[in-house]
Structure 1
Amino acid sequence: MAGDVREATQGGRVVSPSGPGTASRFLPSVDTLEETMLAANRSLAEGRLGDALAQFNEALKLKPRYDAAWIARGHVLKLQGDLEGALKSFSEALVLKPENEEAWLAFAGILNRMRRYAEEVEAYDQALRSNPRNVQALINKGAALHALRRFDEAEPCYEAALALRPEYAPAWNNLGAARLRRGKLDGALEAFEHAARLDPAFFDALVNEVFAWQRKSKHGHAVIAADRALRLREEPWLRYLKGLSHLALMESSLAAGCFERALELDPQLEQARDALRKAKELRRRVDLDRGAYECFGTFQAGDPGCAECEIQQRCQEVTR
């Protein structure tokens, strides 16, 4: 039969015919496959996505059941914006190797980009079955649950991640955010302060402190947290938030200054325009000035030094 290996006769050697189609009977050279993968990874590293995709496709022609090539191909498609194609590539890798953590994390990442959060949670559960100590999976599962507003389930994810990696500032910030959503304000502040202590330049943690202090109606603390965040980055909405706390402290001139600056940065910020009108109206009646007292508005009965403070009476007006 054409293309078959002929049977040896009289002690002769088996000779393979040289006709068409013979080469397809044999496995590709391992060297050829490795060279193709190396070339593809080089193209990917250099940002030549089209070349990389073609080379990974070539590797898969050589070895269709190659999970690493399917994963790499998925990453290229993700970078090209083809999320459906990337999802299919990662799925192929998982059919071949269902316990592949890297593939589950990549698969979940695409689901996140597609806002398919419930499926994303399921993907992280699969990764965690393989490795319950996967910190990335725990944190990202918590974030997906947060997006689904399942804050009570998100909180234990962050706690589990922090038990494994207590120095990880983003996990502390996420834990604080989940607690804040659940109304656990003291626990939220504790988590945000941990995050900011571990990473003093953690803008999001400082901003979240502002929200938490405002929720507690502790506007003096909110102003201090806002100032720390503004030293890192000025945003119009953050100026607006700081202005709201000044307004609550009856510091109408300081509030007006914040709202004016917010409008300079973003003239379309209508909330700041409305708040500026309120600040100007308040200024006709009262305009407290903290002077050099940064602690203004943070007063607690029995605080050291408060009894002797010359502005204690005004401070008590806004901390009752």
Structure 2
Amino acid sequence: MPAARTVAVDCHAFGRYPYVGCNNLMRQLLPDICRDSPDLVREFALCVVTLAPDTHTDVLDLCPDLAEALGKPAAIPFMLNRTTWLAHGLASLVLRWRSRLDGAPPLKLEFTNTASADPLQREFLDILSLRADPDLLEVVRDDENDGAEARSERAAADLTPEEHLVRAEELTARKQRSLDLGSVLHHLEHSTASPDVVARAFTAAAEHYLTVGFYEASLHTARTAARYATHGDLATARTLCSTTVYSLMHLGRLDDAEAFCTVRLSTTDDPRMGMICSYALGVIQARLRPPEQRDLAKAAQHMAQAIAFLDSAPQGPGETCNRIFVDKNFRALLAARAGRTDEAIRLEQEGLADLRRLCPERFRAEAPILLQNLSKAHLASKRADLAVASYTEAIALEPFSADLYMERGNAHRARGDHRAALADYRMAIQVGPPTPEMHFNAGLACAAGHDSERALDEYTLALELDPAYARARLNRAALHYRSGRPAEAAQDADAALRTEPDHPDLLCIRGLVNLSSGDLEAALADFSRALVRDPSHPAALKNRSTTLFAMEDVAQALRDADRYLTVRTDAAAFLHRGQLHQSRGSWQQALADYQQAAGYDDADHAELGRRRSACLQGLVDEATHARA
């Protein structure tokens, strides 16, 4: 058990280099975590090495079988908000490690110079501070207390350009990845190094940040590199062009990306750069814009321009591969957007065949995206089995893409194979970083497999990452209710309703809790509010009818029962309406509803038999009374 101590973590990063504090934190804590909880290091290995690059060797020493997973750039683009989930993953590692140390005094993490941290580091500090249990971990943010980086910066302010160059060379010689991505760049920028040297260093850092999904960092680092790049260095110019435009696209800054590409197209005569920008403009119009803003005709024009640029470039294997990718994959996207799913499938299959035949050396790198899009087209055409097969091919080529496992899990769920879906969701979580949606989908698969307790655990993990995840809170509330824990169900429903006060499903859950506790007025109010939001909400109609019946307002209960049966028909609904008719002595209408209920496989025939007998007796009694 580690001795109680305060760990000072300097976050100074000149305001722009990502996760300096995380790197410094893990350099100090990782030896203890490896000793106490090696399984946690394995579980969160991706988060550790991505946010703390200096730990890469230590993590591989512990988990050598993860070398490929932690070292290979992904072909599949990263999920949205990746840095948020990476930060949550690192926070989970620290918090779960501390929670296992029974009886250990709180660990104090003192983060200094947070005002000079970059935005991603500050996001991590916000997450850790919010999630930390103060009995286990004290998080202190001190903007006044200088750390080593701040002192180094003040000293650096007095350096001459020649001394900056010497300092950059000294730091480079340490072969420490975090220094190459931060302090070395800072000193080079203020040194006598040639513009080409500065441009290459910043370009390499920008490529790294794009590879790991730090899009804000890749954007501003690429822009810095562009200030130093010479006009004759086409290779660097192309790299910076693609890094800038794809960073903007991943950040959702589509107008800025379009403006950047438009300027580049008007100022360059390089066909490869023209292809990069034209292709990006087409993707923005066909894939990234909201449906109401998409312009497929304009996207097709951009695609044609991208192919024309490719055809005008000096030809080689790379151009052949790019032409196949742009032509087949982009045309398939346009076909899919236009609802021509079979055409999209054909084009993706042709693209894969052309890649295999003409560019076998690039097949492994390029095919996963085509296979992913082929799988999506199969799903759109309700061919879940074919989607699973295509996803499986993609995963064989790209075995460390969380998105591919997530999407194949969804395909398994679409074909009703919840066990296989759960296995894929767990693989997505393992590949990481874990996201709320991964845990939520795992919860759905567990619930479908009748494992309510594991489903509750998954929904709880989703809510740890995103407390405002209404669907996870709704499903957890429903499971609590069905498991006989109405207080917990009400607590979840109330928490979610604070952020979504008119959510009809949440109102129905709370209404059910109120109904089961006998608070009929509160239940009626909840079901009625749900129906204001959604007048055809089945659960609200059904349960308000039940509530009204309990309140002896049979006429209104019947109106809701009638409305429910216009939305959905099932044995329980006909049985309920039959009960309402029976309570009024409307024996024939009741018998008609019981007859309808009997036609369903899940009908309660014993209950229907008793009620039919009662109705028939009612008819006999009526006839006897009439004769008398």
Same structural fold, with TM-score higher than 0.5 when normalized by the shorter chain: yes
Conserved? CA contact 1:94–1:103, under 8 Å: yes
Are positions 1:68 and 2:325 aligned together? yes
* Residue pairs, 1:1-320, within 5 angstroms: 35=274, 38-45=277-284, 47-57=294-304, 62=311, 66-69=323-326, 70-98=328-356, 99=364, 100-233=367-500, 234-269=502-537, 271-282=539-550
Measured in 1, the distance between the counterparts of 2:522 and 2:548 equals 11
1:97 aligned counterpart, secondary structure: helix
Measured in 2, the distance between the counterparts of 1:267 and 1:139 equals 34
When residues 185 and 81 of structure 1 are mapped into structure 2, their CA distance, relative to the original with a 3 A threshold, is same
Superposed CA offset, 1:233-292 (max 9, x none) = 3232332232122212222222111112122222333543442243244457xxxxxxxx
Which structure shows the bigger proportion of residues in helix conformation?
2
When residues 266 and 45 of structure 1 are mapped into structure 2, their CA distance, relative to the original with a 3 A threshold, is closer
Worse-superposed segment, 135-144 or 248-257: 248-257
Worse-superposed segment, 44-53 or 86-95: 44-53
Conserved? CA contact 2:481–2:489, under 8 Å: yes
Conserved? CA contact 1:41–1:52, under 8 Å: no
When residues 85 and 57 of structure 1 are mapped into structure 2, their CA distance, relative to the original with a 3 A threshold, is farther
When residues 54 and 217 of structure 1 are mapped into structure 2, their CA distance, relative to the original with a 3 A threshold, is same
Return the letter of the residue paired with 1:42.
Answer: L
Return the letter of the residue paired with 1:91.
Answer: Q
Measured in 2, the distance between the counterparts of 1:97 and 1:192 equals 42
Measured in 1, the distance between the counterparts of 2:333 and 2:350 equals 13
Return the letter of the residue paired with 1:174.
Answer: N
Measured in 1, the distance between the counterparts of 2:333 and 2:385 equals 22
Return the letter of the residue paired with 1:68.
Answer: F
When residues 90 and 239 of structure 1 are mapped into structure 2, their CA distance, relative to the original with a 3 A threshold, is same
Measured in 1, the distance between the counterparts of 2:282 and 2:274 equals 12
Measured in 1, the distance between the counterparts of 2:304 and 2:351 equals 14
Measured in 2, the distance between the counterparts of 1:271 and 1:109 equals 32
When residues 43 and 267 of structure 1 are mapped into structure 2, their CA distance, relative to the original with a 3 A threshold, is closer
Measured in 2, the distance between the counterparts of 1:167 and 1:274 equals 37
Question: Structure 1: any 5+ residue segments left out of the alignment?
Answer: 1-29, 285-320
Alignment RMSD (CA, Å): 2.6
Measured in 1, the distance between the counterparts of 2:536 and 2:374 equals 39
- How far the C-alpha of 1:185 sits from its partner, in A, is 0.9
Measured in 2, the distance between the counterparts of 1:271 and 1:160 equals 35
Question: Structure 2: any 5+ residue segments left out of the alignment?
Answer: 1-268, 286-293, 312-318, 357-363, 553-628
Conserved? CA contact 1:40–1:51, under 8 Å: no
When residues 275 and 82 of structure 1 are mapped into structure 2, their CA distance, relative to the original with a 3 A threshold, is same
Measured in 1, the distance between the counterparts of 2:274 and 2:335 equals 21
- How far the C-alpha of 1:51 sits from its partner, in A, is 3.4
When residues 281 and 190 of structure 1 are mapped into structure 2, their CA distance, relative to the original with a 3 A threshold, is same
Aligned structure 1 segments of 4 or more residues deviating by more than 4 angstroms: 30-34, 57-65
Measured in 1, the distance between the counterparts of 2:545 and 2:340 equals 48
Identity, % of aligned positions: 21
1:201 aligned counterpart, secondary structure: coil
- How far the C-alpha of 1:224 sits from its partner, in A, is 1.6
When residues 59 and 271 of structure 1 are mapped into structure 2, their CA distance, relative to the original with a 3 A threshold, is closer
**TM-score, normalized by length of structure 1?**
0.71
1:250 aligned counterpart, secondary structure: coil
Measured in 2, the distance between the counterparts of 1:197 and 1:74 equals 39
2:522 aligned counterpart, secondary structure: helix
Superposed CA offset, 1:177-213 (max 9, x none) = 1111111111110110100110112122111112211
Measured in 1, the distance between the counterparts of 2:385 and 2:496 equals 33
Measured in 2, the distance between the counterparts of 1:44 and 1:127 equals 21
Conserved? CA contact 1:219–1:245, under 8 Å: yes
Worse-superposed segment, 238-247 or 122-131: 238-247
Measured in 1, the distance between the counterparts of 2:397 and 2:470 equals 34
**TM-score, normalized by length of structure 2?**
0.38
Return the letter of the residue paired with 2:519.
Answer: E
Superposed CA offset, 1:7-58 (max 9, x none) = xxxxxxxxxxxxxxxxxxxxxxx96576466435324435542133245357
